[in-house]
């Protein structure tokens, strides 16, 4: 048969396009019934100097996943052509018009940065004392827009750290601050004869307590959300988390096992005490010494110092950068 010929034209006005390579799971998302809005996030430039662990790159985010973006130059020229009528000798004809040329493509790869670590760097540590509030700190909105990770991952870490916002600044409470607040919550619930597991679904209880104790309402709400952080296992989640709080609020890196167990049990309502076993906290503790309890490396929301030191030591190029 006679093959069709298509006039090939170059548009005078070149459009600006970016070519984005799609991993299979992203392709599936975008071609689904309800494709999501993606986000490109990059770290704000004014933060670059302060950050030690985050490189200044751009990431592409779905609701719950983050991809690192890498720009790859192409040696050939890639034309984006549009099927459009092209003028020929005898009037308009179906043809192809190159409307853009792309010198590079964007490749996506799995995100290698630690969302928790990045978030922690943007939060102000709050030890429960009103006077430590500084002028530093960013709003929750700013952090979500500037932290190079998906909103889902940030929300997850935000809840895990009991982060809260007061007056456009975001804080992460220290373990001691949580410990004191928890004691107040526990006492108030007992005084009212209420089950803590039931109280967790009652924001008004926490609001009232915040007022009585002179604590930020957002802080107690963050604790309430931490209790229901994982669906279903409220008592187990909270019991395990309180072990982290006890460990985190002790000054050393390890704690005598008897002291630890006593403080942990003190925090729990009678019904929960049977849950508080060493097995429960195995995932984040080092129990190799039978007389003590210590953090497993970079295990928790509070074990900040060791994990940070370990990660910055491994990044030799950043040490070079500092030395320059």
Angle, vertex CA 65, rays to CA 156 and CA 168, nearest 5: 45
Residue 17 makes CB contacts below 8 A (sequence gap 6+) with 80, 100, 102
CB of 81 to other proteins, least distance (A): 5
The residue within the footprint of other proteins, chosen from 55, 63, 97, 318 (CB under 8 A), is: 97
Please state, in angstroms and as integers, the Cα–Cα distance from residue 62 to each residue in 23, 25, 65, 152, 287, following that order: 12, 11, 5, 8, 38
Q: For the stretch 253-273, what's the b/e string if a residue is b when 16 or more beta carbons lie within 10 angstroms of its beta carbon?
A: ebbeeeebbebbeebbbeebe
Using CB under 8 A, pick the residue from 52, 63, 70, 81 that binds other proteins: 81
Q: Residue 64, Cα to own-chain centre: how many angstroms?
A: 10
Specify the long-range contacts of residues 271-278, CB closer than 8 Å, at least 24 apart.
271/195, 271/235, 272/196, 272/235, 272/238, 272/239, 275/235, 275/236, 275/239, 276/239, 276/243
Q: Per CB under 8 A, does 288 bind other proteins? A: no
Give the total of residues touching other proteins (CB under 8 A).
63
Pick the binder of other proteins from 53, 96, 217, 308 (CB under 8 A): 96
Q: Is 24 in the site for other proteins (CB under 8 A)?
A: yes
Residue 82 makes contact with other proteins by CB under 8 A: yes
Separation between Cα atoms, residue 238 and residue 198, nearest integer Å: 13
DSSP 278: T
Minimum distance from residue 56 beta carbon to other proteins (Å): 11
3-state secondary structure of 93: strand
3-state secondary structure of 251: coil
Exactly one of 56, 71, 83, 201 binds other proteins (CB under 8 A); that residue is 83
130 forms part of the interface with other proteins (CB under 8 A): no
Shortest Cβ 112–other proteins spacing (Å): 20
The span from the CA of 241 to the CA of 161, in Å, is 10
Q: x/- contact string, 25-54, with other proteins (CB under 8 A)? A: --x--xx---xxxxxxxxxx----------
Q: Any contact of residue 110 with other proteins (CB under 8 A)? A: no
**In terms of DSSP bridges, do strands 124-126 and 169-173 run parallel, antiparallel, or are they unpaired?**
parallel
Task: Please report how close the Cβ of residue 145 comes to other proteins at its closest, in angstroms.
Answer: 4
Q: In this chain, which of 55, 68, 98, 237 binds other proteins, going by CB under 8 A?
A: 98
Binding region for other proteins (CB under 8 A) out of 9-17, 121-129, 232-240, 258-266? 9-17
Residue 80 in the binding site for other proteins (CB under 8 A): yes
Scanning 12-20, 119-127, 129-137, 246-254 for contacts with other proteins by CB under 8 A, the matching segment is 12-20
- For 223-250, give the DSSP string: HHHHHTSSSS-HHHHHHHHHHHHHHHHS
- By CB under 8 A, which span of 140-148, 160-168, 201-209, 245-253 interacts with other proteins? 140-148
Single out the segment in contact with other proteins by CB under 8 A; choices: 88-96, 159-167, 180-188, 249-257.
88-96
Contacts with other proteins in 155-194 (CB under 8 A)? none
Using CB under 8 A, pick the residue from 73, 77, 274, 291 that binds other proteins: 77
Q: 79: which 2 tokens?
A: 């034309």
Question: Rule CB under 8 A: which residues touch other proteins?
Answer: 1, 3-13, 15-24, 27, 30-31, 35-44, 60, 74-89, 92, 94-99, 105, 144-146
């Amino acid at each position: 048969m006679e093959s069709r010929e298509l006039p090939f034209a170059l548009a005078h006005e070149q459009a600006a396009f970016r070519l984005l390579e799609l991993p299979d799971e992203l392709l599936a998302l975008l071609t689904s019934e309800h494709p999501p809005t993606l986000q490109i996030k990059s770290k704000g430039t004014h933060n670059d100097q302060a950050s030690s662990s985050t490189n200044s790159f751009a990431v592409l985010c779905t609701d719950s996943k983050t991809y690192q973006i890498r720009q790859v130059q192409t040696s050939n020229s890639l034309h984006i052509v549009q099927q459009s009528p092209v003028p020929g000798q005898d009037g308009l004809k179906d043809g192809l018009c190159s409307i853009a040329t792309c010198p590079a493509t964007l490749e996506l790869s799995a995100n290698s940065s630690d969302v928790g670590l990045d978030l922690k760097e943007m939060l102000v540590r709050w030890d429960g004392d009103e006077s430590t509030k500084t002028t530093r700190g960013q709003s929750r909105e700013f952090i979500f827009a500037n932290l190079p990770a998906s909103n889902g991952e940030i929300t997850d870490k935000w809840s895990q750290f009991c982060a809260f916002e007061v007056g456009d600044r975001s804080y992460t409470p220290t373990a001691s601050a949580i410990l004191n607040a928890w004691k107040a919550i526990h006492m108030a619930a007992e005084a009212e004869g209420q089950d803590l597991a039931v109280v967790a679904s009652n924001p008004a209880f926490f609001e009232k307590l915040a007022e009585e104790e002179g604590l930020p309402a957002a802080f107690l709400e963050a604790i309430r959300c931490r209790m229901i952080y994982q669906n279903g296992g409220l008592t187990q989640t909270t019991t395990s988390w309180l072990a982290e709080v006890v460990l985190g609020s002790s000054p050393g890196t390890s704690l005598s096992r008897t002291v630890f167990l006593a403080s942990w049990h003190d925090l729990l309502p009678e019904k929960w005490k049977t849950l508080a076993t060493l097995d429960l906290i195995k995932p984040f503790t080092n129990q190799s010494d039978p007389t003590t309890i210590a953090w497993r490396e970079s295990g928790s929301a509070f074990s900040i110092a060791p994990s940070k030191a370990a990660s910055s030591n491994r990044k030799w190029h950043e040490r070079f950068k500092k030395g320059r």
